[in-house]
Structure 1
Amino acid sequence: MNKKQYMGLAVISAMMLLSVTAWAANEGPLTISADTLSYDGNTGRAEASGNVVITQQDKTITGANGWYNTKTREASLDGGVSLIGSNMAMSAQSVHSINDNQFSATGDVHLQRDDRQIFGDSVEYNSDTEYGKVLGNARLIAEGTTLTGNQVEGWLKEIRAVAQGDVTFNNPDRNVSGSADRATYTQTPNQNDGVVLLTGSAHAVQNGNVLNAPELKLYLNDNSAETLGGRSTLVISPN
């Protein structure tokens, strides 16, 4: 390496250090490392490839390749991406983030917040509001209840979810399962007060008894059910 090339690399490294330090003064320290790394001081964009690791505050995201913009606080990684925070974790084939708290993940996505999990082909998630939207093979697991559908929206902090399209739900502890066009599930964290509202061709099996109605409201705390919306059918299984 000649002297001119060495000085050029030194200038790039110094520019990157200054940009990261200035940005970190308000948001906390930021570290980007990779096998190959380049940085544009004018745009604030760092291009990284090979074992990429981006760490900022309580979040660390890793992947095979990607980029991060220190000015816009936007990042994109692909290739076996893993994101770990203080109370959440995510894995996917690719992840795009904005403002370090809004994440768009695609490809075998698995997101976990404490003991609550969501899976799907693609996930939109905000780590501040803890709202997630799942599209394709969507599945949410919370407090012993599994909810699936073509689309699931979940508010993980308060345990509230809305599923649409070929919906199923299952709670083995309560020996209850069901299906519908749409379902709304609510529960207070760490409380036994779960309620599942099934809408559209609602079908439920509870302790062997079958209940069909246009709309069903199931109370998980006492295994009771309420039919809504029209004519219903109850098939009681003999003991």
Structure 2
Amino acid sequence: MRILVVEDDPALCQQIQRQLQAEGHAVDVAPDGREGLYLGEEHPYDVAIVDLGLPLLDGVSLIRQLRAKERHYPILILTARGSWQDKVEGLESGADDYLTKPFHPEELKARLNALLRRASGHASAVIRGGPLSIDTSARRVTLDDQPVELTGYEYQTLAYLALHQGQAVSKTELTEHLYDQDFDRDSNVIEVFIGRLRRKLDPDGQLKLITTQRGLGYRLNLPGEPPTT
């Protein structure tokens, strides 16, 4: 997933960036609210992490302007402020959840996963369909109850399709949401990952879990799972 981090504390920002990148996410960072607003308007993020106490443009104003520009991706606010009034102001500005500093990396991971699931209409961390099971919390995939070994990029591609299952996802969308800004958009890497997933998940081609819709993109079809809207 592609995540925006707007945090003016360099050490904390780097810590969050490293954690998210280690989990396979593409991460953009901004040290102040003004740059965060620019990035937040320009790119199609899956979720944003916004500190409230930002220079140049505070976090609440940043969130309000993003929502006014109809940027609807989930936003998690970070705050060192302990009062409930500050948390309420952040949520009422358009944020979806908050995390009080200091926090444990596992709590950040859990809250982000929950926001991503809710945004795609999934209440559970485990997405199931027929013989396929994708645990988005443990980042574990099983087929007929047997573990499937995937690389980080293969898993990220599958997870994104699963969170948008039933929808056609273009190569451009996958590239924008899964890979860093300097990724070669003209490469055939996406096709390679899709090919590998098909061989690992459906070697006989009987399940047709991942189909190609000409001119539209790739679609994950989970048996028994209603498409997201």
TM-score (norm 2): 0.26
Q: Which has the larger radius of gyration?
A: 1
TM-score (norm 1): 0.26
Normalized per residue, the structure richer in strand is: 1
Normalized per residue, the structure richer in helix is: 2
